[in-house]
Each structure stands twice: as structure tokens, then as C-alpha cells.
Structure 1
Amino acid sequence: MAKDAAPRLLSGGNPQIAKGYGDAVVQSYIDAMPDWKHDVGRRIDALVTEAVPDVVKAVKWNSPFYGMEKDIWFLGFHCLTKYVKVAFFKGAQLSPLPPGTSRQADVRYLDIHEGRPFDEGQFADWVRQASRLPGEKM
């Protein structure tokens, strides 16, 4: 892919971004998020960074990940057709529980839809809680 070529969008509008570590690769992913999802991605990233200033960032499997050390993650998100899915990898230990369940016992989700604001204060609290839990090695 040429340097100035836009990333390809996969199903659901999820940007195809090469695996990498650091803020720059996460910003590339967010920059490539389509339409209203772009603003949601910016806000998620800002809230995580404000809540956990020393957060470690990466893009793996075409999704941004956030953790307290390399390859140990507490949160990730992904673009789907009608929403942005935020995964708290140890979400079953958060209080109150994030609303979305998973087939994996520890994982809880927050789905953010266009035109439906989410509770940013609660989100930031979940991020702080999640950052203090043992992360998920991926």
C-alpha cells in the first residue's frame, strides 16, 4: 500500500491497519474510522488517555488495544456496521457491570451507537477500574 493511500475498510467499516505499538498506530486507526465512528474513536481514546495517562497502546487484529504493559490489555474496540464495540477484557470484575455480555465469562462489552450518547463518566470509571486489574495477555 502506498504511503498516502487510505487504509482499506473491512466489513462493518473497520479499518485495516497493520499491527503496531504506540499512540501513532492507534491514531492511524482512529483517523481511518468512517463517518460518526471517527468521533467515537477519538472520544474513547481521549477518555482512556485522561483516565490512565501512562496507558500502553497498540493495534492488533485491526483493533486498538489499551493496557498497562506491552501485550497485556484491559480494553479494546472495534468498528461494526451499526456501532463501535468496546471490550473490557476483565469486565465481569467491574462495578457496575458494563451492559453487554459475552460467551467469555470475564469479558463485558459496551456498544456505542450513532446518535446515542454514552455515559462518559461511567466509561472513565470503568477504564480506571480495568487498568488496575490483571490484564489479558494477547
Structure 2
Amino acid sequence: MSYRKDPRVDQYINALPPWQQDICHQVRDLVHAADPDVEETIKRTVQPYFVLEGNVCALLAAKDHVNVFLYDGGLSPDPQGIITGGHGNKTGRTVAIREGEPINGQALGDIFRAIIATNRAGGWRKVTSGQ
């Protein structure tokens, strides 16, 4: 898949251990596959974000996993139960992916597409307020 890469995101990913690089590359491909208009940037000094009319997701490598932060206000359905944290959070949730765990690309892609649709509808704050 071909898409415009932010070299700062490459720098973040390339500094990680190989297993975390692999996870980040897979997630990066999935978010771009969800919509070709997704753009990459760095926020909070070093954290990769993927945006389209608002935040879609962000990556943060931890010692034993990679967090994929989902910026959806808790709206996106998760029928396959891949969301691992933030279930009661009103702004976002997380999917923690550990070394050796397969990524459920279909489920994660579905969530990305739902977040993008919400962003295009004005964002989760607008959608949940009914304005």
C-alpha cells in the first residue's frame, strides 16, 4: 500500500525493537487502508498520530506492548472485543497489542472506519451532544 509517510513517524517506529516496529507498521497500514485521506503527524513531542478531520488514533510503544489509542468518544462498536482499555472513558479507548499477538486487522480497520465516519459527521463531541 502506498501513502504519504511523515518521516518523524518513521523515526519513531524505527527506534523501536523489531517486534514493536512490526506492530506499528501493521497498524499504520490499516489506518491508511481505512481511508486514503488519513494523514500522519507527531503530537505531544514524539507520539505518532493519524488524523482525518480530527484524531483517528495514536501509537505509543510501552515496555511489553504497543498501545493504539482510539479517539472515538466510546462510540465505535467493538463486536469482536479487541478494545483492551478505557471502556468507561468518554474520550478514547485503547487496544494493547503484545509481542507475538496477531492483530485482528478486520476488527481494527472497522473501528478506524467508524471513527473516520464520526469525524466526518463533526466529531464524537458533536455527535454525542446532538448538535
> Which TM-score tier does this pair reach, normalised by the shorter chain?
0.7 to 0.9
Task: Give 1:103 deviation, angstroms.
Answer: 6.7
1:67 aligns with 2:51: yes
Question: Over aligned residues, Cα RMSD in angstroms?
Answer: 2.0
Counterpart in the other structure of 1:51: 34
Task: Give 1:83 deviation, angstroms.
Answer: 0.4
The CA distance in 2 between the partners of 1:25 and 1:103, in whole Å, is 32
Gaps of 5+ in 1: 1-21
Cα deviation digits, residues 80-125 of structure 1 (max 9, x gap) = 0110001111151011262322674231110000011121110111
Task: State the AA in 1 paired with 2:64.
Answer: K
**TM-score normalised by L of structure 2:** 0.76
User: Is the 1:91–1:130 contact (alpha carbons within 8 Å) kept by the matching residues of 2?
Assistant: no
- What is the number of equivalent residue pairs in this alignment? 113
Counterpart in the other structure of 2:116: 131
**TM-score normalised by L of structure 1:** 0.73
Superposition misfits of 4+ residues, deviation over 4 angstroms: none
Q: Which one of the candidate residues 79, 83, 89 is aligned to 2:71? A: 89
Q: State the identity %.
A: 26
